[in-house]
Structure 1
Amino acid sequence: MTQLETLSEFLDTANTQFQVYDLGRRVENIDMMLFNQIEALKNPYPFPTQGHAQFAIVFWREAQPPFIWFLKLPLDEQGLLSPAQRSQFIKMILEALGQDPTKALSDEEQERYANHPFSFKPSQEKLALFNALVKRQLSQQPSAQYQFAASYFAALIASPKKVDDSWQQLGLQGIADICVRLDQHNHAAEINAAFEFAPVEVQAAICQCLEHVTIDAVLAQTLFDKLSQAPVEHKHIYLRALASQAELTQKAIKQLVNYQQLDENLLITIAARNWIALKDDQTRKLYLEVLANQPQIFFNQVFADIVSIPSLRQPLLLELRNTERSEKLSAAIGGLFKALSQ
């Protein structure tokens, strides 16, 4: 039998269909062609998190419920998957399941298998969005919480003044189900209305979900306006929801810099969720200048995080050689090199 070297080969050999989702930064589907290139070590993992790829593989056979693997695999300095650890996981799977990844396991086997060294548990918000996204993409019914959430948000438009404390019964899963279905029914308009009439707790939960989906221009403008008006301690709530909107995020960063409101919390939010905006040269320079005003250890940690993102790596490395940067940024970069040399 030919040795199985990749997860794709294993799942193809087992005659399953499968999809891959990143769960490290944002919850999003990874194109299968790209995933094959990642596994072939031809492309770096596009969304690294603390030196690892954190992703889910959803696989199924005809007329069977889907199975899910949550995997955390280390990356090398170039952002490529570590073949040794991947091979170790495949070997472990073959020993536990043979050629059938859908094989039923005993309770003891399930417990032992669930605690393997390459597993991880996504955060509650990411898990809710992931479940909603998978159900939609596999044409399954949304969760039991969906209907209550749909009724609540519909009421915001119908009778906003009559909305009471029923929001406390909203589940994050129901909100996630709504957010992955913004193009269905009247959900986009309802979510837009929520930012005018719903309590800030509901708005925060919505933003936790919206950061993982692509939103339209109307909702994006509403979020930008909320961000502009919000107190500093709440600005990160709305900024993260603009993750899919690079241009508005760039505008928001410029505004935050002008008003000297780009604090540590917002700097982390941009690095973790809104990094796409940093592809713009001017925005990246603004961000780095503000980052340089933070403590050296904070600068080092955030810079190390964003420079690991393949789409940002080259322009950030060029910034290290930019002779026109400020003295403050030069000093921060000098401190970074000093820390790396120790």
Structure 2
Amino acid sequence: MMISLTELLQRSSANYLIYDLGRRLSAISQQQFADIEAQKQPYPFPLQQHACFAIAFWQEADQPFIWFLKFPVDERGLLDLSTRDQFCHNVITLLGNQITEALSDEQQQQLQNAPGLFTPGDDKRAAFNARLKLDLAQPPSIYFESAQSYLRQPEPLDSWQQLGLQGIHDVVARLRQDEATCMAITNNLQNYPAELWQPLAIAMEHQDLPASLYHYLAAELDQQVSNPSDDVTPRLHALRALAGNHTPAFGEQLENWLKSYQQHPLTDDEFIIIAGRLYQQLHDHQLVMVFFEALAEHNNQALLVGLFTDLVRLPLLRPQLLMMLQSSDLAKPLFKALQQLKGNRS
């Protein structure tokens, strides 16, 4: 029987941390990862039918080794173990149980070709590096101070172009321990160049922010919804930045917005971000129903089918979405849209 990653890590006597790199960066406990590997529980947040992990492991004071791993999952979210087994086989063949030993160039090349390894995008890699250094009580990157200085006092205004992406992620990851910078961001956010909003929002999407910043961002979103402009970009960035806000108050805010679809319609991109970033809020039965009712009124069947197909693969949402698919007690536009979806699936 093939050894699991958990067993491989434990046999090496390495310290290790595991992170989910699928939809949003988040820590996974060692026990939860072991249960996912053993198919005792589904991978919680599949992305394009895959589970994505970052595993950092090290011996004592050494710098950690990093594996970025991507394995297929089935429609229930259970791990397809064949790719995992191939990766473990390659590691054992090359290194045995001594996975923290230095690799030769040839071994490094062979390991890079192992099934299951992948390269995250720059944003997720920066978010992961920022979180890992924080969790290991290590100093941030050399780009941290310049990013912190600019976010506290954005002068000269166009100097943001000199900021390193890693520095922005480092600052955002440490905002819960940096009240001064957090307060400066709330005070200066309207003054930052529009081009800075996107990398800043993406960094915020992947970290757990102070409650005060979530409150400010939610208020900004509410203001933008109530007083819409032709440029929806600020709303999109605010939605991304609020990805980690799981409070009932924010759920109610989203629900009220979706219920007022006729007065405050959403764009395709806003529906996509809510589904792709705020999926944990949609665990609320009433909110997910209101979301799909608004999406049905949006009259884009292809978008509705795509988002339903994506969300039904999340174990968190799968039971209630399958029940919705079978229900006849739905608003007429949603019932009609789901009937079409069922016809396409059959």
- TM-score under structure 2 normalisation? 0.91
Match of 1:252 in 2: 254
The alignment partner of 1:317 has SS state of helix
Displacement, 1:226?
A: 2.6
- Work out whether residues 253 and 262 of structure 1, in 8 Å CA contact, stay in contact via their aligned partners in 2: no
Please give the alpha-carbon distance, in whole angstroms, between the structure 2 residues aligned to 1:80 and 1:237.
Answer: 32
Runs of 4+ in 1 over 4 A off after TM superposition: none
**1:283 and 2:260 matched:** no
Tell me, yes or no, if structure 1 residue 176 matches structure 2 residue 169: yes
2:181 aligned residue: 187
Aligned to 1:159: none
Of 96-105 and 298-307, more deviation after overlay is shown by 96-105
Aligned-partner SS, 1:320: helix
Q: Structure 1, residues 197-246: CA drift from partner, whole Å, max 9, x if none?
A: 21122222211111112223321222123323444233111111111223
Equivalent position of 2:56 in the other structure: 58
Q: CA RMSD in A?
A: 1.8
Q: Counterparts of 1:181-260 in structure 2 under 5 Å?
A: 181-185=174-178, 186-230=180-224, 231-246=231-246, 247=248, 248-255=250-257, 257-258=259-260, 259-260=263-264
Q: 1:256 to 1:295 in 2, by over 3 A?
A: closer
Q: Is the contact between residue 195 and residue 222 of structure 1 (CA under 8 Å) also seen in structure 2?
A: no
| Selected match of 2:96 from 95, 98, 102 | 98
SS in 2 for 1:18: strand
* Contact 2:130-2:173 within 8 A present in 1 as well: yes
**What one-letter code is carried by the residue in structure 2 that aligns with 1:269?**
I
Which amino acid is the alignment partner of residue 191 of structure 2?
F
1:271 aligns with 2:275: yes
> Could you tell me which amino acid in structure 1 is paired with residue 24 of structure 2?
R
Is this contact kept in 2: 1:224–1:252, CA < 8 A? no
Distance 2:163 2:184 in 1: 15
For residue 85 of structure 1, give the secondary structure of its aligned residue in structure 2.
Answer: helix
Structure 1: runs of 5+ lacking an equivalent: 157-161
Which residue of 300, 320, 323 maps to 2:305?
300
Partner of 1:322: 327
Whether the 8 Å CA contact 2:240–2:277 is kept in 1: the answer is: yes
Kept in 1, the 8 Å contact 2:176–2:209? The answer is: no
Q: Is the 8 A contact 2:86 2:115 kept in 1?
A: no
Question: SS at 1:310's partner residue?
Answer: coil
Contact kept in structure 1, 2:56 and 2:66, CA below 8 Å: yes
- Structure 1 residues 170 and 253: alpha-carbon distance in aligned structure 2, compared to 1, 3 A threshold: farther
Is the Cα–Cα contact under 8 Å of residues 4 and 10 in structure 1 kept in the other structure?
A: no
Corresponding residue pairs, total? 334
Matched residue type, 1:176 = H
The aligned counterpart of 2:35 is 37
1:164 pairs with one of 157, 160, 167:
157
Q: CA deviation at 1:34?
A: 1.3
